[in-house]
Chains A and B, each alone.
Chain A
C-alpha cells in the first residue's frame, strides 16, 4: 500500500467535526454521499444523531476525508427523502460506520485505510463500555464489498449497498493481539 507523496499521512489529524470545518464543497465522487455530506452531515452531527470525524492536514480546516459513527444506521438516501420507512436493522445492536469518504484529490493514498482503522479504534473503546455485536457499514459497491470481506466483515444481504458486519470479537482480537 504505497502512499502518494502528495499527501503526507503523518501530517493528518482526525478530530470531531468543528464549526470551522467546511463540508459544503466536499466531493468524493459518489453523488448520494456527496449530497448527504454537503447538506446533512453537519446538522445531524449538531443534533447528536451521528458523530462526524474529519481528517485534515495539520493546521488546515480543509477536509480530506471523513466518517461518521452512530448506534443507529442512517441511510443516506432515506435521509434525503421524505416519509422514511422504519429502519430494517432494528434487532441488531451495533456501531455503524456511515459516510466513510475520501475527497477525490486525496483518494488512493491510504487515507481510506487510516479513516477505517481510526473508526474501528473508536468503536473498540465504545464496545468496551457498551454492549454491541459488531461494527456495521453499508458497502458502496462490489469493489468495497470485496475489500471489506477481506477485512473480515460478513455480508448480510445480496443487494446494492449491502449491510456488512465485523463481529465485535474480531475487533477485540485486532486491538489486543496486533
Chain B
C-alpha cells in the first residue's frame, strides 16, 4: 500500500508541514535549483525516512526542516507556525564529529541543560546516559569513544533537551555495518519509549524499511517527492519475512526510478 502523496492528515495530529517548498542556491552567479515543490505532512510521533540518490538534496531538505536554511520558495510549518531558524525544540544529529571534543560525555549531554537546576540536570543526564547505554563513560572524552559511542552520545545530547522533532542526517553512515545494525535497534527502542517525531535521512534502503513508518523517496536534482511509501509492518520487523522483502523490493524499484527521473 503506497500512497502517492504525503498530504491529507487530520490537523490535530499534524506536527510538520512543508508547503510548496523550493530551494535554490547561487553558484558562480547562476541559480541552481536543488529542491522543487516539496509538499509533505508529518504527524506527531511519526518516523519518516528520506531516501534518494546521492547529492539529490536530502540533507538540504533536512536542514530546511530544521530551520538552518530558509527556503527560497514556500514555507516550513511546525506546530502551525512558520519556522524562522534553528530551535532547541528541533535538534539535528549530524553524521560525523558532532559532539564537542572538549566536553566529557556528561558535559555534552548537559550542553543544552544550562537553564535547569543542578539536581534536575543531574537527573536528566543520568537518565539519558542510561538510555543510550553509556554508563561508566560519564567522565570520558569523545576522543576516547568509538564512532558508534559518539553517535549515541549525540543522540543523548539531542534527547536531553526534550525536543519535539529529531532530525538525523545519515547518522550511522560513518560506522561499520554491525554497529549500524545495533544502533538502529537502539534508536527504535528509544523512539518507542519516548515517541518523538523523527525524520531520518539515509541512502541505505534496508535502513529505511527497517526503521520508518513512511519512506519519502526523492528524485534526482532538482529533487521533487517522487513517492511516499508506507511501511505498515509492526515493530519488531522481521527482516526475512515476506512482507518486509516485498516492501524492500518496492522501495528499490522506486529508487531505481528516481535515478532516471
Partners in one complex: no
Interface residues of B, Cβ cutoff 8 Å to A:
none
